[in-house]
Amino acid sequence: MAVSKFRPIEELEEAYAYGHRVFAESRPAEFEAKVLALPKDIEWHFIGHLQTNKLRHVLPYAYMIQSVDSIHLLAAIEKWCSASGKSVRVLLEVHVSEEDSKQGFSPDEILTMDLNAMATEYPHVTICGLMGMASHTDDAGRIEADFALMKSLLGKIMDSYPAFADSFNELSIGMSEDWQLAVKHGATMVRIGSAIFNR
Ligand SMILES: *Cc1c(COP(=O)(O)O)cnc(C)c1O
């Protein structure tokens, strides 16, 4: 997907003219403004930290929220969708990198989640897989280890919940600098910003 955050509308229109139909944004107000300015046949993903008081800028338009980083947020999304008669796809953001600053669930938290209970508790939310970022480093070995860990988490969950195999199978890993390594480790989505828009 084309990560178009901070880019002016004209650059998104240019990417659209080349055939891009999947875009990702990370700030609620910017997301909403761009959705409303661009053609309707775009699949919009939200990939930034989402505060529960900003849901109305995002949920009416989002194909997928990739950055669900707390149960608090998941519950708020369920509440909003239930009240609005909508449903939405989400990914759980997992934190495997060295940086403390990154948002998301720890691997242990991911592994102790009960998908059956969550499907009952959050019926308007389809949990489709995991999203994550590798450590910010030039060390390819470290990046590959981070991606391998995320792939193994996804695999463990899929093995534990075969009934969810058709819905829980996405692995959103890889950005401009490391997407080749991400694909090697099973990425089903890569999030490319600067490599598309920086010229
Ligand atoms: C900005 C961003 C990207 C894209 O990063 P690039 O290095 O510009 O490709 C991917 N994922 C998330 C969550 C981002 O915030």
Q: What is the pTM of this model?
A: 0.96
Q: Are the C-beta atoms of residues 78 and 87 closer than 8 Å to each other?
A: no
5 close to ligand 1 (CB < 6 Angstrom): yes
Residue 129, beta-bridge partner list: 91, 170
pLDDT at position 103 is 84
45 close to ligand 1 (CB < 6 Angstrom): no
Pocket of ligand 1, candidates 6, 22, 26: which has the most ligand atoms within 8 Å of its Cβ, to mutate?
26
Task: Of 78, 80, 106, give the one whose Cα is nearest residue 92.
Answer: 106
103 close to ligand 1 (CB < 6 Angstrom): no
pLDDT category of residue 198 using cuts at 50, 70 and 90: confident
175 close to ligand 1 (CB < 6 Angstrom): yes
Task: Report helix, strand or coil for 108.
Answer: helix
Residue nearest to atom 14 of ligand 1 (CA): 47
User: Which residue type, as a one-letter code, is found at position 177?
Assistant: E
Least confident of 81-90, 102-111, 166-175: 102-111
The 10s digit of each residue's pLDDT in 60-84 is 999 999 999 999 999 999 999 999 9
Taking the CA atoms of 116, 119, 122 and 125 in sequence, report the sign of the dihedral they define. positive
Pocket of ligand 1, candidates 47, 172, 181: which has the most ligand atoms within 8 Å of its Cβ, to mutate?
47
The 10s digit of each residue's pLDDT in 129-164 is 999 999 999 999 999 999 999 999 999 999 999 999
Indicate which atom in ligand 1 lies nearest the CA of residue 175.
Answer: 9
Q: Are the C-beta atoms of residues 56 and 81 closer than 8 Å to each other?
A: no
**Would you say residue 102 has pLDDT above 90?**
no
**Would you say residue 97 has pLDDT above 80?**
no
The 10s digit of each residue's pLDDT in 29-54 is 999 999 999 999 999 999 999 999 99
pLDDT at position 101 is 66
Residue nearest to atom 12 of ligand 1 (CA): 47
47 close to ligand 1 (CB < 6 Angstrom): yes
Please, what is the angle between helix 9-17 and helix 28-37, to 10°? 50
pLDDT category of residue 199 using cuts at 50, 70 and 90: low
